Amino acid sequence: MKRQPDAQGLPANILAKPIVVTRDQHPISRKAIPEHALKVLYRLHNAGFEAYLVGGCVRDLLLGLEPKDFDVATNAKPEQVRGLFRNCRLVGRRFRLAHVVFGREIIEVATFRGHHEVETDEQSAKVAKADDEGMLVRDNVYGTIEEDAQRRDFTVNALYYNIADFAIYDFANGVKDLNAGVLRMIGDADQRYREDPVRMLRAIRFATKLSMRMDSSVEAPIRQLAPLLQNIPAARLFEEVLKMFAAGKGVANFEMLSDYHLFQQLFPLLKNYIKEPDEAPYQMIRQTFADTDERIRNDQRITPAYLFAALLWWPLQARMEILMAESGLPPVDAMNLAAADVFGKQVQTVAVPKRFSIPAREIWQLQQRMERARGKRIQSLLTHPRFRAAYDFLLLRAKTATPAEQQHLQQQADFWTQQQAKFPGAVATARNAHSAEDSAAPKKKRGRRGGRRRKPRTDSD
């Protein structure tokens, strides 16, 4: 039986009672759960608290996928969790979380979230706060597991694995939707997107990652509400961009984001370059994601520096042309100024840390140096730490060039291919000097499951 909306506007697709999928009815085994996650679950349980694996990890295990993270939900308050674990730290302002740290591995523990009356002014620490657009900016309201399930974003994320009886508690027909391949929102999608516009990006990412189709109610508001992403902190959107384009589904995410007008919000400088799929800029951007996806499939290194160098190349060229025409600057100076301008504008929407923007600018600069190199400068460039990334970028440019530039760029690419064969020692020197990097980035960390540091988030991944 499904719950009807009540006076408080509770989600209509939440079940009156959860469906309990007993241990003999699902494939999840404790052998698939990392040791440290089990340790957290059992310590909470033995201390008299409820303890569940929740959200994305349960969903992925049911699909036979390897979860990135194992998150825990409990009725213990953050301070009580910290009292059980000396290796625990409390994080987050919007919603307080406990991070239990085991070396490089972090198990995130969240207290059940409760219902709230959203207020636009500060009145009480127990009342959530929203901005003028309806986006929640503070949400430290605790409740029961039933309330927590109602606060989840998608039905397939309202799944809880109970360490007490090893059963899965399904509060929103999530298992049914998972089997049907349908991504359905809990509650009114328009309202949920306004509460947190990043949910629009999550809808796209889950659709591509899980090969699911979005329910019509999930996709209908996205184009209209896409501009709400402008209210999201640029640093948070950088993390979302990495999830979108550095996890093996870059092409699919790019195409869906563009179709729903979300990519244009993340990269406003590219708005005019992705209107014509047959044009060189669009082809270069798409090929960048295709190459990155292939590298991830081959377990090769990728780096955001290379991605941003490729994505912002055409805005860089346009700005360079303006600077050279208006000020008569030589190409080297024009590129340096244009690079500062382009990144200065981009970081207003998606923050790009200097550890990535600086290497991206070096990749750009090397395009000019590679074109001018003669004599001893050739071997010097071959030993440059960013040479391999710059060379791959040159190959990308040649592959997606306009007809007017294609022959010239291909000749350059062939020349540098020959030089690497001619001076293998120089290339090896560069590789050894920069062994921590690769042309397309830091290697995808595989380590132990759940073994990555991350920032707090609002919904289950």
| Residues that are catalytic | 69, 71, 153
> Within a 13 Å sphere around the CA of 43, how many CA atoms are in the beta-carbon half?
17
3-state secondary structure the chain: CECCCCCCCCCCCCECCCEEECHHHCCCCHHHCCHHHHHHHHHHHHCCCCEEEECHHHHHHHHCCCCCCCCEEECCCHHHHHHHCCCEEEECCCCCEEEEEECCEEEEEEECECCCCCECCCCCCCCCEECCCCCEEECCCECCHHHHHHHCCEHHHCEEEECCCCCEEECCCHHHHHHHCEECECCCHHHHHHHCCHHHHHHHHHHHHCCCEECHHHHCCHHHHHHHHHHCCHHHHHHHHHHHHCCCCHHHHHHHHHHCCCHHHHCHHHHHHCCCCCCHHHHHHHHHHHHHHHHHHCCCCCCHHHHHHHHCHHHHHHHHHHHHHHHCCCHHHHHHHHHHHHHHHHCCCCCCCHHHHHHHHHHHHHHHHHHHCCCHHHHHHHCCCCHHHHHHHHHHHHHCCCHHHHHHHHHHHHHHHHHHHHCHHHHHHHHHHCCCCCCCCCCCCCCCCCCCCCCCCCCCC
Q: Please, what sign has the CA dihedral across residues 112, 136, 68, 260?
A: positive
Residue that the structure tokens 């508690």 belong to = 169
